[in-house]
Amino acid sequence: MSQADLAVEAVAVHSAGSHRSGAMEERPFAIPSSKLVMWLFIISDACTFGAMLFAYGYIRNSAADWPRVFEGASVWNSLLMTFILVTTSLTVLLAVKAAQSDDRAGAFRWTMITAAGGVVFMLLHIREWISLIHQGARMWQNPWGAPMFGAAFFSITGLHMAHVLGGAIALTVVGLSYKAGRYAARHIEIWALYWHFVDLVWMFVVPLVYLLNMKR
C-alpha cells in the first residue's frame, strides 16, 4: 500500500474512531467526500449541458430555415469520435482497476492511453470545425439558413471539447502523480468518473446536434 493510500486509510480510521465518540458525522452516502463533490459537479454540469441543448432546441424549433448541413463524411466522423470516446471510457476503467490493485505502472499506462484518446478525439473534432468554417459557417452567419446555427453548433461542441481538454490534462496530471506516489487510487477513480461523464454528454450531442441536422 502506498503512502497516499495509508494516509487516506489513517484518516478513515480516525474518522471512524471519532464517530464512535460522537465527534464527527458518518461519511455521507458511504463514499469519500471528494467523490461526492465530483458527483455534485457532474449533476450541475449535466444541467449546464441540458440548458445548452434546450436552448439549441428552442432556436432550432423556432427557425423556419434551420440548416441540415451534415453529410455522410461528418456522420462517419461523429461515429468514429464516438468509438474513440467510448473506448477511452473502457481504458479509464482499466486504469481504475490497475490502481485499485496497486499496479502503478499499469494505472499510469491506461491513464495516458485515455488522455491520448481524448487528444485524438479533439483533433477529429477540430477537423470537423475547420471543414464547416471553410464552408462559410461562423458564429452568427452561414450560407445555408438560420444564422444561429453556428452559435448553437460551436458553443455546444466547443463546451464539450473544453471538457475533453480539461479531462485529458487532469488525467495526465493525476496519472503522473499517482505513478510518483503522491496520489492514491481514489484520485484516478474520481477523474475516471468525470471522464465517463464527458462520454455521456457526447452520447446526447451526436444524435441531437449531428444526426438531427443530417442532409437528406
Partner 1 sequence: MSQTQASSRTSLIVYGAILAIAVVQVVVAVTMGPSLWRMLLLAVIQGYLAVMFFMHLRDEKPSLRLALIPGTLFVLVMMNMIWADSFRLMVMKPFAK
Q: Where on the chain is the footprint of partner 1 (CB under 8 A)? A: 29-31, 39, 43, 46-47, 50-51, 54-55, 57-59, 61-62, 64, 75, 79, 82-83, 86-87, 89-90, 93, 97, 193, 196-197, 199-200, 203-204, 206-208, 211-212, 214, 216
Q: Which of 165, 163, 190, 164 is nearest to 177 (CA)?
A: 190
Three cell numbers at 19? 464517530
Bridge-partner residues for 214, per DSSP? 70
Q: Which is nearer to partner 1, 92 or 115 (CB)?
A: 92
Return the C-alpha torsion angle 178, 192, 122, 113, nearest 10.
Answer: 50
User: Smallest distance from the beta carbon of 180 to partner 1, in angstroms?
Assistant: 26
Helix (H), strand (E) at residue 195: helix 185-205
Q: Which three cell numbers stand for residue 40?
A: 455534485
The DSSP bridge partners found for residue 70 are: 214
CB of 170 to partner 1, least distance (A): 16
Nearer to partner 1, 120 or 176 (CB): 120
Is 104 buried (19+), middle (13-18) or exposed (0-12) by CB count in 10 A? middle
Give the nearer residue to partner 1 in terms of CB position, either 9 or 71: 71
The nearer residue to partner 1, 3 or 101, going by C-beta atoms, is 101
- C-alpha cell recorded at residue 185: 487510487
Minimum gap (Å) between residue 59 Cβ and partner 1? 8
CB of 43 to partner 1, least distance (A): 5
Cβ distance to partner 1 smaller for residue 54 or 140: 54
State the nearest-atom distance from the C-beta of 70 to partner 1, in Å. 10
Grid cell of 113 as nine digits? 492511453
